[in-house]
Every structure is written in C-alpha cells, then in structure tokens.
C-alpha cells in the first residue's frame, strides 16, 4: 500500500506522547506511518486517534530493531521525516534491566538511523528527556547545561543524543531536533486518548488519577523535606497536547535548518507535588488522600525548563495550565477507568 503523498514515519505512535502527536500531525495535514510493537501500548490507541482525526493511520506493526520491517515501513509512502518516540521509559526498571534498555533504546535508534540512511531521510525529531541533565546545577535548565543522567534510562537518551550529534557532524544535510521533554501529563480534551500505564504507575499524575477514581487508596508523596517552597518535589508539568504541538513545530524547523539542536519542551514553571494535588482537587472536585513517605533514591528536589530556545527557534510555547492538564487527565481516567483494555 504505497501512497504518493509524503508522510511522517512515527515510531512508538501508539504510546502516550506518540498518540497525541499523531492527532496533531493529522490535524496539520500530514500523512503518517506508525511503527509500534505495542510493548507498552494498545492498537486501540491508534483506532481512537483515527476517530479524533477522522483520518486513517497507516500501521506497520512490529519492532524497530527488525530491519525488514523498517524497510517495509519506509516503503509504505515517501517518508519526508521521522519522529522517534519508541523507547522503554521506566527509570526503576532501567536500573534492574540496563541491557534491555540499551538494546531497545540505543539499539533501536541505530537500526532506525540505518533505515533512514537507506531511504535517504535526513530529518529526524527525537524524544529526549530532561533526565539527561541529572542534578540541575542551576535553574531554570538551559540546553547548554552539563549532561549527567542519574540512571540507565537517562543514559540511553544521552547516548542517542551523542550519536545524533555525531551523525549531523558527518552529514551536512542531516537535521535533528532532540526534544528534551519535561513532565508531560493530562490527555486529549476528547477524553478518548491518554496515558495508560501498565501495573503501578511510575509517574505522579496517573497515580493521582488512579487514587481519585478509587483504584488506589492513597498517593505516596516521596519526601516533604526537599529544599522547595512546601518541601515536596517540584517539576515542570506540561500538557501532552502542548508537547504534541511542539513536535509539529519541530518538524517544520527541521525542514528549514540543518545540524543537531537540543530543545527543552517545558512550560518554564515549577509545580510542587502538593500544588499539583491541590490543582487536581480544584479542577475535578475529587479528594486525593495522600501520605508522606521517605524520599526515593535518585530523585531530585527541583527541575524546570528555560523554554526560551523553543520560543526562539520553533515559535512554540506551552499555553495550557495545570488546571487544564488536571481536568483533561481526569476526563480520560473517568471515561476509561481501565485504560484501553
Ligand atoms: N512520558 C514521559 O514522561 C516522558 C518524558 C520524557 C521523555 N519521554 C520519552 O518520550 C517517548 C514517548 O514516551 P511515552 O510516554 O509516550 O511512552 P510510551 O511507553 O507510552 O510509548 C512508547 C511507545 O513505543 C513503543 N515501543 C517501545 N519500544 C519499541 C520498539 N523496540 N519497537 C517498536 N515500538 C516500540 C511502545 O509500545 C509504546 O507504544 C519515549 O522515548 C520516552 O522515553 C517520555
């Protein structure tokens, strides 16, 4: 099934950030080809994307480490650019299974870049993470700050960034935007797609929504003795739809530039755990019982972006506030108490 229209190849498109980005790509008029092995997602997410967008998503189901599968995907349409989401992302699991993380996240990227080379694709948008900074030397975080990830997951993101930087240095026609996400939360306002964690959520927000819906008794807040305004950890939460729109602007940027550039995608504002709980309670009128427990090892006190480069290069800024993130995330949780299953 080869369409003549140029398309964007999206790896990991059935996942949380990927599915929201597919919606915005389709809305912006792009054709897409999605490659996903559903190791942490469901094909139902892609059906929902099609419902929201009113357009079809071309699918090539399988693993990005499979060379012949990738060649099939690149042959499905003339591919003009790649957005690479596919990765394993659980920090704790990465400490226990580093080999699997390097294999999937670094090995996967290497296979994908070989396929890009075979297909002559030069534009590449990569899902990096604020975890590459490790313990912030200074806040807000700017892209030129030292990179020192604290765990194997973050290390795989850094290795990929180094690889992409070297590749750009070797090929003047390459254009790579490495988007360092801060903390995406919330869901599409339709309530049809959202974050669907398997097992116990690793992140704060799905934990809050699961407590609010009665799936879990109370939220564990890891530490109230951090050097922050209320003693709980501060993060830069960004609405997943704003994040998705950032990818559309990054694609356009890659079309008019060359070289490697890392870009923070955050709001530039920090919100503490207790502030997020309060915002959620106000936005949804649901109580979120919580208990303070000890700090988790490897956590940091505070982390938020300087989002100035994204504004300058991409003309992008986040516009949705924490209340909107909570209201939209809650709509998804309420409408889909068991996620996609
Ligand atoms: N969600 C966050 O908080 C966050 C923050 C910073 C960076 N990121 C990065 O953004 C990207 C997307 O994150 P997400 O939250 O949507 O995660 P997700 O787990 O929901 O989505 C990842 C998708 O990739 C797929 N996948 C994984 N390995 C694959 C492989 N080898 N072949 C094919 N498909 C594969 C999974 O099935 C899933 O659909 C990841 O690279 C992640 O590391 C996420």
Q: What is the pLDDT of residues 259-286, one digit of tens each?
A: 999 999 999 999 999 999 999 999 999 9
User: Within a domain: residue 123?
Assistant: yes
CATH of the domain at 16: 3.40.50.720
Helix (H) or strand (E) holding 101: helix 98-101
Nearest CA owner, ligand 1 atom 6: 129
Q: What is the pLDDT of residues 189-223, one digit of tens each?
A: 999 999 998 877 888 999 999 999 999 999 999 99
User: Within a domain: residue 209?
Assistant: no
**Average pLDDT for 215-239:** 96
Lowest mean pLDDT among 44-53, 192-201, 240-249, 324-333: 192-201
Q: Is 16 a catalytic residue?
A: no
Nearest CA owner, ligand 1 atom 36: 40
Please give the share of the chain, as a percent, with pLDDT higher than 70: 99
Whether the pLDDT of residue 2 is over 90: the answer is no
Beta-strand ranges (E) seen in 78-169 are: 79-84, 123-129
CA of 19 to the centre of ligand 1 (A): 10
What local confidence, expressed as pLDDT, does residue 4 receive? Answer: 56
Number of domains in the chain: 1
Whether the pLDDT of residue 3 is over 80: the answer is no
Q: Which domain holds residue 97?
A: 7-185+238-267+306-318
Helix, strand, coil shares of the chain, percent, nearest 5, are: 40, 20, 40
List, in order, residues 6 or more apart from 51 with CB less than 8 Å away.
192
CA of 40 to the centre of ligand 1 (A): 8
Q: Is the CB of 314 under 6 A from ligand 1?
A: no
User: Within a domain: residue 332?
Assistant: no
d(CA 224, CA 78): 53
**Average pLDDT for 151-160:** 98
User: Within a domain: residue 45?
Assistant: yes
Q: Taking Cα atoms as reference points, which of 245, 114, 129 lies closest to residue 186?
A: 245
User: Within a domain: residue 207?
Assistant: no
User: Within a domain: residue 290?
Assistant: no
User: Within a domain: residue 221?
Assistant: no
Q: Is the CB of 129 under 6 A from ligand 1?
A: yes
Rg (alpha carbons) of the chain, rounded to whole number: 19
**Average pLDDT for 121-150:** 97
Q: Is the CB of 41 under 6 A from ligand 1?
A: yes
For residue 203, which atom of ligand 1 is closest to its CA?
A: 3
Q: 3-state DSSP call for residue 297?
A: coil
Q: Is the CB of 39 under 6 A from ligand 1?
A: yes
CA of 282 to the centre of ligand 1 (A): 30
Q: How many CB atoms lie within 10 A of CB 199?
A: 7
What local confidence, expressed as pLDDT, does residue 73 receive? Answer: 98
User: Within a domain: residue 60?
Assistant: yes
Q: What is the pLDDT of residues 87-104, one digit of tens each?
A: 999 999 999 999 999 999
- As given in the structure block, the two tokens for residue 40 are 């942490």
State if pTM tops 0.85: yes
What local confidence, expressed as pLDDT, does residue 297 receive? Answer: 84
């Amino acid at each position: 099934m080869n369409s003549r229209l140029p398309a964007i190849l999206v790896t990991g498109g059935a996942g949380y950030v990927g599915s929201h980005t597919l919606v915005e790509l389709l809305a912006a008029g792009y054709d897409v080809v999605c490659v996903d092995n559903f190791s942490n997602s469901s094909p139902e997410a892609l059906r929902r994307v099609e419902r929201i967008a009113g357009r079809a998503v071309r699918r090539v189901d399988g693993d990005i480490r499979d060379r012949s599968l990738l060649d099939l995907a690149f042959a499905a349409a003339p591919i003009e650019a790649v957005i690479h989401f596919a990765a394993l992302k659980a920090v704790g699991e990465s400490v226990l299974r580093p080999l699997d993380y390097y294999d999937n996240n670094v090995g996967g990227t290497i296979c994908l870049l070989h396929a890009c080379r075979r297909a002559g694709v030069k534009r590449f948008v990569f899902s990096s993470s604020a975890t590459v900074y490790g313990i912030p030397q200074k806040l807000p975080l700017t892209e030129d700050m030292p990179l020192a990830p604290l765990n194997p997951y973050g290390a795989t993101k850094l290795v990929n960034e180094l690889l992409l930087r070297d590749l750009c240095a070797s090929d003047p026609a390459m254009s790579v935007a490495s988007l360092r996400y801060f903390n995406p939360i919330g869901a599409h306002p339709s309530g049809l797609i959202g974050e669907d964690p398997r097992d116990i959520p690793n992140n704060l927000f799905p934990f809050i929504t699961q407590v609010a819906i009665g799936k879990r008794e109370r939220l564990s807040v890891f530490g109230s003795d951090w050097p922050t305004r209320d003693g709980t950890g501060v993060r830069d939460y960004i609405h997943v739809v704003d994040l998705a729109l950032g990818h559309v602007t990054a694609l356009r940027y890659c079309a008019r530039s060359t070289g490697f550039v890392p870009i923070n995608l955050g709001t530039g504002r920090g919100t503490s755990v207790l502030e997020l709980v309060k915002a959620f309670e106000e936005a949804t009128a649901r109580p979120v019982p919580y208990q303070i427990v000890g700090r988790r090892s490897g956590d940091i006190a505070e982390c938020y972006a300087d989002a100035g480069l994204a504004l300058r290069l991409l003309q992008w800024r986040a516009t949705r506030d924490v209340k909107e993130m909570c209201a939209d995330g809650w709509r998804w949780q309420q409408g889909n108490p068991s996620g996609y299953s």
